Structure 1
């Protein structure tokens, strides 16, 4: 299986790329900055330099030839401002879906955010007044990206993790349409995405996920 990961230099993406290659499959990290190519390649993955804020869907589709599935793990990142929350976290996610459809790819896994649909529409506007408002724009961007994906005929999965940790993976999680607020290692989020792809589980399912007591394959099978 060949899997392309948008936001290929992100922490979850790098962990996922390594897991994919260790499982005997091919990973391709899509990065904006050419300086990040070597970091992606160190995971065993290949890299494509492509700025999702600059390309159109036809241009991106050409770069996705031969790919079987795509993962959106990109984000504008801290301090990027409200405008880029929309242009990256929302618009780039839709662009990846458009390009995947043009390339004949129907499997798409989205890394979203817990409680994205609870954003405050009065605060989630551009220009944002303060950091709290920027965060509301971020949630809005994730919510709208998820809604766009749910409306497509693709075989999608939307993963909404809780607070992200840089601790070692546990391998056990709690999942549901909503779960109590909590945290989860980035490595476990990457493993959730991997199992969703390789086990072909949780298709057409949007779920929140935190650390819990159920092994990842069993948790995903239960919600599939």
Structure 2
């Protein structure tokens, strides 16, 4: 069934690939903050909408989400602008989107939230991590501490929300390889990168998975067909969010 979909952070590499996958069968609106990006959005079959996570209000976003079936949050500062901007986009921007969804009267869209593998309380190390996972986690936390901190605060806030249905996809390190339609999904090791195309494919499949509500899904490179891996994970119903 065709859905009305909004992508927040519509000009990101994953978001553009996602819009291209969704637009043939769904109505896609991609939120961007720069009018110079409008043609890129149109080229993947979506409709551009200019709003800024930093400058627009909760009510502005609530208005844009009203009547939508699914909202994707795939925005991020991308390490630009230092910790202040990382906090403004990855944390405060996320909170703004969550608040906007809650502010909608009547039916609320589902949220599919793009996070990252290993976003967690640094004192809660997953039991399945091996020595390589622990070393990778430590390197990443030292390399991009502001992102790991503020993305965790955002996800922790989302995990407590009950007014709308949400699902988190938590990709590992990203690469630009061709999509394989294969990955390793759920409570996995974190050292293998995953293609942006495969991430987009998983996000596109989640559009119809209302039964994934409340689940956080780790997603790295691997050999399991994505649709099969998601099906197994969702049926198991065990979230990767440790708090």
Asked if 1:172 is matched to 2:174, the reply is no
Q: Do residues 197 (structure 1) and 200 (structure 2) align?
A: no
**1:170-198 C-alpha deviation (Å, 9 max, x unpaired):** 10111113433210000111111111112
Of 152, 155, 175, 1:143 maps to: 152
Q: Which residue of 1 aligns with 2:165?
A: 155
Compute the displacement of 1:132 (Å).
7.3
Change (3 A) 1:133 1:215: closer
Instruction: Please state whether the residue corresponding to 1:198 is helix, strand or coil.
Output: coil
C-alpha spacing 1:143/1:65, structure 2 compared with 1 (3 Å): same
TM-score under structure 2 normalisation? Answer: 0.82
Which deviates the most, 196-205 or 206-215? Answer: 196-205
**Per-residue displacement from partner, 1:1-59 (whole Å, max 9, x unpaired)?**
0111111000000000110113x111111001111111111100001100111122112
Q: How many residue pairs end up in the alignment?
A: 213
The alpha-carbon distance between structure 1 residues 132 and 184, as it changes in their structure 2 partners (threshold 3 A), is: closer
Local SS of the residue matching 1:116: coil
Q: Would the aligned equivalents of 1:118 and 1:139 in 2 still touch at CA under 8 Å?
A: no
CA RMSD of aligned residues (A): 1.9
The verdict on how the C-alpha distance between 1:196 and 1:44 changes in structure 2, with shifts beyond 3 A counting, is same
> 1:117-136: per-residue Cα shift (whole Å, max 9, x none)?
2559xxxxxxxxxx976711
Gaps of 5+ in 1: 121-130
Paired residues of 1:175 and 1:209 also in contact (CA < 8 A): yes
What is the DSSP-based 3-state SS (H/G/I as helix, E as strand, rest coil) of the residue aligned with 1:117?
coil
- Aligned counterparts, 1:75-224, within 5 A: 75-103=76-104, 104-117=107-120, 135-153=144-162, 154-224=164-234
Which residue matches 1:9? 11
The separation in 1 between residues aligned to 2:77 and 2:102, in whole angstroms, is 24
When normalised by structure 1's length, the TM-score is: 0.89
CA 178–44 in structure 1, closer or farther in 2 if over 3 Å, else same: same
| Contact 1:90–1:144 (8 Å) recurs in 2 | yes
Which residue number in structure 1 is paired with residue 37 of structure 2? 36
Stretches of structure 2 lacking an aligned partner (at least 5 in a row): 124-139, 235-243
Cα distance per residue 1:45-97 (max 9 Å; x no partner): 00110011112211211122221111111011233211111110111111111
